[in-house]
A and B are shown apart, each in its own frame.
Chain A
Amino acid sequence: MSDKRAKDRLDGPRDPDLLERITDRNPSRLGVGRAGSRPRTDTLLEFRADHGIARDAVLTNVDEGFIEETGLVKIGTLIEDTEEYLARPDRGREISAETAEYLREHCEEGPEVQLVVADGLSSSAVEANVPDLLPILLDGLADRDLRVGTPVFVEYGRVDVMDAIGEELDADCCVILIGERPGLASAESLSAYLVYGPERGGPTAKKSVISNIHQGGLPPVEAGAQLVDLIAEMCERERSGIDLREDDREFVTD
């Protein structure tokens, strides 16, 4: 990231104070200077380092030990490796008949809330945020007297795999915590998608979303509290996504 070090790389700016003000407030990589028409070596390597971190977040899987410690039941989708995962989103939305059977054997059926964790496009996002987020969700939902099923981890999952899992376990409401596509600024951003009445092929507009969950964005502890409120509302009003928001507008005009 551009930081205090960056402006030292621009030799003899016309207005050093102004340059400092610019680089302090601007999130872009400004005031980095140049070597001829090319970037300075440090600037170049810093950029490559940030890209390396983002690539690792995409290409590495969530640690097995992490999944066990967190007490998640692990399943997979139809995807076999990272290469296929990136090229075939359709196969990352579906689970096999055997996996469905396994789910029903190992998880509580018919819960009010089914929680799912997926690596998505960033394993780092899961490992960085789920340890703080999950306990808050579980405690908060228990406080609201909502019956939460057995939390599941799905490897190589896309957002819509929540529909298949929710449908197989006959959940009223399904929530997936999934790693977002990493940017260079942060590889640890997580999103939560929520749906009431999960069904395969259901409209995208029925899903609610809270995104940008990470320490530098919406911190996981705060996100947990927001999610508990949203899930409770969804369960009470038996709707989600655009239906929930359109309803709000009616409520306001009343």
Chain B
Amino acid sequence: MATISRREGEFDSLRALLAKANERKTGDELAGIAADSDAERVAAKKALSRVTLRELRENPVVPYQEDEVTRVIQDAVREPIYERIKEWSVAELREFLVDSSTTDREIRAIREGLTSEMIAAVAKLMSNMDLALVSSRMTITARCNTTIGEPGTLSFRLQPNDPADDVENVLDSTREGLSYGTGDAVIGINPVVDSAENTAAILEATHGFIEEWAVPTQNCCLSHVTTQMEAIREGAPADMVFQSLAGTEAGNEEFGIDVSLLDEADELARRRCSSSGPNVWYFETGQGAELSGDAHEGVDQLTLESRCYGLAKRYDPFLLNTVVGFIGPEYLYDGRQVIRAGLEDVFMGKLHGIPMGIDACYTNHMEADQNDIETLAITLAAAGSNYFITVPMGDDVMLNYQSNSYHDAATLRELFGREPIEPFGEWLREMGITENGRLTERAGDPTVFA
């Protein structure tokens, strides 16, 4: 971009500048676009701090004509708001966001004038505490059967995966999770076999359990969106539909989706989902997904992650979480990089207006352990993440990775004095699982639901 090269000499495009301004990530190094040194990284941040929001709008990282994700993001901009803020520098945007007198309402007032590139750019200038501070200031709610994201609440996805998709095992793990008070965000299962029949079986089983025990929550089976559509057309009770997203058209092609397919699924979900609320989508994302499919278009993984949220926004999701440590050390090497990425993702998602959660997780080939993701969970609970993922003792025996445990749900609520979603909390009290916000004698026992 001409303006940047005139001003800074060494950065020959805004796309290159954005990449070099990132905190260190192995994925950007693997893509060959990272800063060569810490000095160059900070020089890039300085140059980026002076770039205006207008320059970012006029230079999307993938051209408008070539990429439908760019078109979705650009076409959604509310022009009068953009006109009001377009001469702000990225530094000014950061200082507006961190200012103690800036309220959630004032952030909402500029939100619709921002593009995903602007949001990525400001994240690159922010420290970890900056990100936590601003994230915690934003309240984003959404309603499926229940309403997530209300102030004072902290929610959890119960993830009772089984390596054989055995529905009895799925339900037993669900019983255990509920007995720790997790599951108010969703009872969501990643199936091994991606078929409509299997998806329907999992949906029927979880829906039946939810009805039988009158659990105020929602179910989801995380197969491919086309598989869920087939199951829903055949009458399977899905409270919402799920899909993984990428930040480029080419990346979404790798996932076997495009905007017109998502639009079609959206229409179907609104007509046929078994839930009562207006928000009927669940999305997952994660830095590095585009590069792993060789669909990154020379763009850094943080900016691409932000563009996922720009796309997700079109569908007003109930849940969106980054699966931050799942992809592996070639994208996020260690606990430090995962914690940074988790903070960036939740901040960027919330600034898009998305009810963000996080799967605070790691694989066994990463330089990380359970302590790192407990630290990440504590940090992001402070930063106002709407929800976290929980699996039995943190060990997902189907996906072969580790996340937060059912126990962690109770601990995080205890630590921050937070409550489950209101009707779910009431249900836990009625079931005798919690009393005065703490687990009772009955808690932690799956056989109380027999």
Cross-chain contact A14 with B364 (CB below 8 angstroms):
no
Contact between chains at B391 and A28 (CB < 8 Å): yes
Cα(A25)–Cα(B402), bound, Å: 21
Q: Is the interface of B mostly helix, strand, loop or mixed?
A: mixed
Q: Is B392 an interface residue (CB 8 A)?
A: yes
Q: Does A197 contact B (CB under 8 A)?
A: no
Residues 363-403 (chain B) with a chain A CB within 8 angstroms: 363-367, 369-370, 391-395, 397, 400-402
Residue contact B395 to A19, C-beta cutoff 8 Å: no
Could you say which of B364, B367, B393, B397 contacts A54, with CB atoms under 8 Å apart? B364
- A87 to B30, Cβ gap below 8 A? yes
Question: In the complex, are the beta carbons of A30 and B176 less than 8 A apart?
Answer: yes
**7 A-B pairs in the complex with CB atoms less than 8 angstroms apart:** A10-B444, A28-B395, A30-B446, A34-B407, A37-B414, A48-B370, A89-B330
Residues on the A chain within 8 Å of B402, using CB: 51, 184
Q: B95 CB to closest chain A CB, in angstroms?
A: 35
Least Cβ–Cβ distance between B202 and chain A, in angstroms: 15
B interface residues, Cβ below 8 angstroms from A: 26, 29-30, 160, 162-163, 168-169, 172-173, 176, 180, 328-330, 333, 363-367, 369-370, 391-395, 397, 400-402, 405, 407, 410-411, 414, 438-439, 441-448, 450
Tell me, in angstroms, the Cα distance from A87 to B410 when the chains sit together: 35
Q: Do the beta carbons of A27 and B169 come within 8 Å of each other? A: yes
The closest CB in chain A to the CB of B391 belongs to A28
Q: Ordered nearest first, which 9 A-B pairs have the shortest CB separation?
A: A183-B400, A29-B393, A37-B410, A15-B447, A54-B364, A86-B329, A28-B392, A37-B411, A34-B444
- CB neighbours of B443 from chain A (8 A): 34
Q: Does A90 count as interface, using CB distance less than 8 angstroms?
A: yes
The total of chain A residues at the interface (CB under 8 A) is 45
Cβ-closest chain A residue relative to B362 = A51
> Are B439 and A185 closer than 8 Å at their CB atoms?
no
**Is A121 part of the binding interface, using a Cβ–Cβ cutoff of 8 Å?**
yes
Interface status of A110 (Cβ within 8 A of chain B): no
| A92 to B333 Cα, complex, angstroms | 16
Check: A38 CB closer than 8 A to any chain B CB. Answer: yes
* Residues A184 and B176 in contact in the complex (CB < 8 Å), given A25-B169, A37-B414, A38-B407: no
- In residues 53-104 of chain A, which contact B (Cβ within 8 Å)? 54-55, 57-58, 86-90
Instruction: Scan A19-53; emit 1 where CB is below 8 A from any B CB, else 0.
Output: 10010011111111110111100010001101100
A252 within 8 A of B: no
Taking a contact as CB atoms closer than 8 A, the residue among B172, B397, B410, B448 that contacts A22 in the complex is B172
Task: Assess the A32–B393 pair: CB atoms within 8 A.
Answer: yes
B169 with A28: CB separation less than 8 A: yes
Q: Please tell me if A131 contacts chain B, counting CB pairs below 8 Å.
A: no
The distance in angstroms between the C-alpha atoms of A105 and B448, with both chains bound, is 68
Closest to B413 in A: A37
Q: Which residues of B contact A27 (CB under 8 A)?
A: 162-163, 169, 397
